[in-house]
Structure 1
């Protein structure tokens, strides 16, 4: 069960770029969660992915030298959902109906998340250098946080300049 969750039901075995495949799937699932239950559903799912990810990664990689294996992608799911929480919360707070999740919000969250996850600036890189299961999750959570903030800044600039 831990391997199944850690690889997000086999998505981590897709090649090339399993992290990008997982992030794309996370966007699709995140938009569905938003439409089903708006921001609260996405936030709850994100929290569950973090908790399950820590459990699955630490259990499955126990005794392995490499804790950050390329097929582990539940961290991308959690980080991408965290990035999506930012525009989702914005739409929820604005009172938009749940069936509205305009594409610039989720596209920007995806692009910024992949950028920060690959580039690994500052705290993302520091967490990535950890050799434990928490570090595997933490670098993607930092990337998700940075991506969410960048998404909201981009939205503010876009709406301030073009709206």
Structure 2
């Protein structure tokens, strides 16, 4: 069971990539999100995101049980979950308006950059969640960072499409 948990927690080994395994975890999450979206559209990516949060919490708890470090850098399932949350607004827009997901590439870029920014700097509730010192905190800080990044991406889209008329 521990091997399966480690496989999941490291997103099939992506967490062992160096340098910056969290950024690698986020980068690997992008094509995975696209594939899931292409297979089952928005409902599947939304359900997969919820599943990634739940399974990631379990995998993180199993992987870190008995370890001194509650958030080792090779655990990147939290980055996958947070990055997918950041992508949900643009994938919903693609689905709702029948737009090819990759046509919204500026949103993919902003979701990635904003998620990494919030995950690295950990402002406000993101830092609070990270300081919990347990598996839930490992997942929760990235979930909150994903929400922040998703909202930021929507704001940037509103500015670009509304105020700037692009």
Q: Is TM > 0.5 for Structure 1 vs Structure 2?
A: yes
Q: Aligned equivalents of 1:100 and 1:152: distance in 2?
A: 15
Instruction: State the match for 1:133 in structure 2.
Output: 135
Given that 2:91 and 2:101 are in contact with CA atoms closer than 8 Å, whether structure 1 keeps it comes out as no
Instruction: State the match for 1:154 in structure 2.
Output: 156
* Residue 37, structure 1, aligned to residue 34, structure 2: no
* Residue 71, structure 1, aligned to residue 74, structure 2: yes
TM-score, reference length from structure 2: 0.93
Q: Aligned equivalents of 2:39 and 2:155: distance in 1?
A: 26
Q: Deviations over 1:26-67 (max 9, x none)?
A: 011112222222211111111111111011011111111111
Q: What is the DSSP-based 3-state SS (H/G/I as helix, E as strand, rest coil) of the residue aligned with 1:162?
A: coil
- The 5 Å alignment of 1:84-163 reads 84-93=87-96, 95-97=97-99, 99-101=100-102, 102-160=104-162, 161-163=164-166
Q: What is the DSSP-based 3-state SS (H/G/I as helix, E as strand, rest coil) of the residue aligned with 1:9?
A: coil
Q: Which runs of 5+ in 1 are unaligned?
A: none
Q: Aligned equivalents of 1:134 and 1:100: distance in 2?
A: 31
TM-score, reference length from structure 1: 0.94
Q: After TM superposition, give the deviation of residue 92 of structure 1 in Å.
A: 2.1
Moved over 4 A (4+): none
Q: Aligned equivalents of 1:100 and 1:16: distance in 2?
A: 29
Q: After TM superposition, give the deviation of residue 96 of structure 1 in Å.
A: 1.3
Q: Aligned equivalents of 1:82 and 1:141: distance in 2?
A: 7
The alignment of Structure 1 onto Structure 2 pairs a total of residues equal to: 161
- The 5 Å alignment of 1:9-20 reads 9-20=12-23
Given that 2:14 and 2:24 are in contact with CA atoms closer than 8 Å, whether structure 1 keeps it comes out as yes
